[in-house]
Amino acid sequence: MNGRIVVPVDGSDLALCGLHAAIDLAKAVDASIEIAYVVDITKAAAAAYGDPQYVAPCLVALRDDGKRILQTAFAEATNQGVSAAIRLLEGNPAEAIVELARRPDVRWIVMASHGRSGLGRLLLGSVAEGVLRRSSVPVVVVPMPHRARTSAA
């Protein structure tokens, strides 16, 4: 097949499950992966309680966190023999992921059903749902492991 698989990550254990699924798919179809982290600007504003003097430092912290997460995911992919690239994006996560996947070499998006924001939706995370609704390429949604769904925590 070749081509590229976009893999959004956010540092959560579930996103790691999505990364592993993307690595398996990339190996099976001889594709490369592009690992993306989206700095959600609205989170920076919320963390700063809307105070403009604190938004910039919050953005810096989110970017630094994203770079660390991307490097960890990149190492995981390359250690497993998959060609990988990383992208640090900013904006609305669902929109940024869909926009990244609009390139002609992108064949799939592989992502976790939920991320760091937790179970914001009963059946599917809001970012995953947004990507599913807007994507022009197939989206593989990796579900929560059964033990996480039945956990008392």
**pLDDT of 149 over the 80 cut:** no
Answer with the residue of higher pLDDT: 46 or 34.
Answer: 34
Provide the domain limits for residue 62: 4-149
Q: Give the number of domains in the chain.
A: 1
Q: Please state whether 2 falls in left (phi above 0), alpha (psi between -120 and 50) or beta.
A: left
**In the predicted model, is pLDDT for residue 152 greater than 50?**
no
Widest distance between CA atoms in the chain:
49
State the CATH number of the domain containing residue 44.
3.40.50.620
- Model pLDDT, residue 122: 45
Task: Of 128, 10, 22, give the one whose Cα is nearest residue 82.
Answer: 22
- Which band of pLDDT confidence, cut at 50, 70 and 90, is reported for residue 4? very high
Output the pTM of the full model. 0.85
CA angle 123, 124, 125 (to 5 degrees): 135
